[in-house]
Amino acid sequence: MSEDLYQEALQEFGRRLRRGQEEGLIRQPTAMTLATADDRGRPSARTVLLKDFGRDGFLFYTNRESRKGEQLAANSWAALCFYWDPYWEQAVVEGPVQEVSPVEADLYWVTRSRISQLGAWASRQSRPLASRSQLISEVAACEAKYQGSTVPRPEYWSGFRVIPHRIEFWTGRSFRLNDRLLYEKTSQGWTAKRLYP
């Protein structure tokens, strides 16, 4: 029964995301704010793209050596927040984060465009960059290096899954009487409850 509630939450998320993708009112319906915290509990946030979701979690790809990557190594819990403005809806997912296997990262890497692959090699994500022209010349150097061959996945470029312990849906309603529905994993299994807005 409680696992059914988890399934129900995932189905609800999928319904909302698909609507955003099909109706074309949102430029990037998979864009989500990813919040992480360092080992002292100091939070930081940025936008990343959701690549997949399901029972095993909500997947994004990034550079493990970035600021977020370092924070996740120190504190594996994260939160994701989607805001779908045309529908006046929000979805929040929280839980521990697990890195994907190298095989899974490789399988996704080969689906990416060559220019994204070269960009991943050229960008030392989150570290200081002297000038824009330096980045452009580093991309060109990577292009020359891999000319005529496939671009391998940098070891530091990987996928991460937020494994939900909380999924909350917020829906805007008139008179500020907004709906909040919280699915939560407890020691007894998944529960569902409404929250005051």
Ligand X SMILES: Cc1cc2nc3c(=O)[nH]c(=O)nc-3n(C[C@H](O)[C@H](O)[C@H](O)COP(=O)(O)O)c2cc1C
| Sites of contact with ligand X (CB under 6 A) | 28, 31, 44, 46-49, 60-63, 66-68, 125-126
In the complex with ligand X, which residue's Cβ is closer, 125 or 178?
A: 125
> Minimum Å distance from CB 173 to ligand X?
28
Nearest to 76 by CA among 94, 93, 54: 94
In the complex with ligand X, which residue's Cβ is closer, 63 or 95?
A: 63
In the complex with ligand X, which residue's Cβ is closer, 3 or 85?
A: 85
Nearest to 11 by CA among 131, 181, 141: 181
Q: Which two tokens stand for residue 111?
A: 């689906």
Q: Would you say 94 and 35 are in contact if contact means Cβ atoms under 8 Å apart?
A: no
d(CA 108, CA 91): 25
> Minimum Å distance from CB 56 to ligand X?
18
Q: For residue 119, what is the DSSP state?
A: H
In the complex with ligand X, which residue's Cβ is closer, 135 or 182?
A: 135
Residues 6+ apart with CB under 8 A from 114: 151
Amino acid letter, residue 71:
Q
> Minimum Å distance from CB 149 to ligand X?
25
> Minimum Å distance from CB 47 to ligand X?
4
